[in-house]
Amino acid sequence: MSVRKKRSVQDVPIFLDDKFFQELQDIVLRVRWDYKTNREQFWMRDQALTSLFILSGVRVSEALQLKKMQTRDYRDNIILANVKTFKRGLTRTKIVLPKKGRLAWFTGVFENWLRLVPSEDSYIFPTGSQFGFNWEKPLSRKRVFWIIKTTTGRFPHWFRGVCETIYGRLVFQSDAWKLKEFMGLKRLDSTSPYVRGSWEEDLQRIYEV
């Protein structure tokens, strides 16, 4: 497997329009590893995991430790609770996966998989074999990197950057502090690639000169 490279500003999407969200959907649907058995269910799991990266920005290790008991499925959203961040040891008390707007499609992919998870104590993303899933053991981090990089051409941390950009610019309107709190980060400067500079907030005025 290729050596991980550190995420850079070049990973940040430039356009956040409808076309970009459609491209994201197409990327998720490409996550189809050449499994020999149980293909449909394995694809559902892997696409749900990829969608979760986009929706929440969790790291691979953080996603793999999630259990169904940490979720609540409501009419307008799915809530993830008490997600521990591995890099800084902080806890994201609540992550909202919306069922409305342009992120709703990704929540739907995650929700369809979540319904198949059998018990509250089951890992949401279990390891598997030709005989099915072992719900008591999570998928390995190395396996996730291999599946996603091979099928999409992107490392999992690219999707984390996409999430930070969407929330930083479209949800929090370039409020770096809110993005830091949402992502469970300790340092404010960690959000700098994903929020617009103050001059761009007034860009519309160029047409009024």
Is residue 2, in this structure, part of any structural domain at all?
no
- Signed CA dihedral, 54, 56, 57, 63: sign only: negative
Inter-CA distances, 113 with 46, 52, 145, 154, 155, Å = 9, 11, 20, 22, 22
pLDDT (tens, 9 = 90+) of the chain, 209 residues, equals 444 444 444 566 778 899 999 999 999 999 999 999 999 999 999 999 999 999 998 999 999 999 999 999 999 999 999 998 877 668 888 899 999 999 999 999 999 999 999 999 999 999 998 788 999 999 999 999 999 999 999 999 999 889 888 888 888 776 666 777 777 666 555 555 555 554 455 455 544 53
pTM of the predicted protein model: 0.83
- Give the total number of structural domains in the chain: 1
Strand, coil or helix: what is 195? coil
Is residue 72, in this structure, part of any structural domain at all?
yes
Q: Label each residue of 48-79 as H, E or C.
A: HHHHHHHHHCCCHHHHHCCEHHHEEECCCEEE
Residue 136 domain boundaries: 13-208
Inter-CA distances, 39 with 45, 46, 50, Å = 10, 10, 16
**Which CATH number is 125's domain given?**
1.10.443.10
The span from the CA of 40 to the CA of 76, in Å, is: 27
Please answer whether residues 91 and 84 qualify as being in contact, where contact means their C-beta atoms are separated by less than 8 angstroms.
yes
Is residue 1, in this structure, part of any structural domain at all?
no
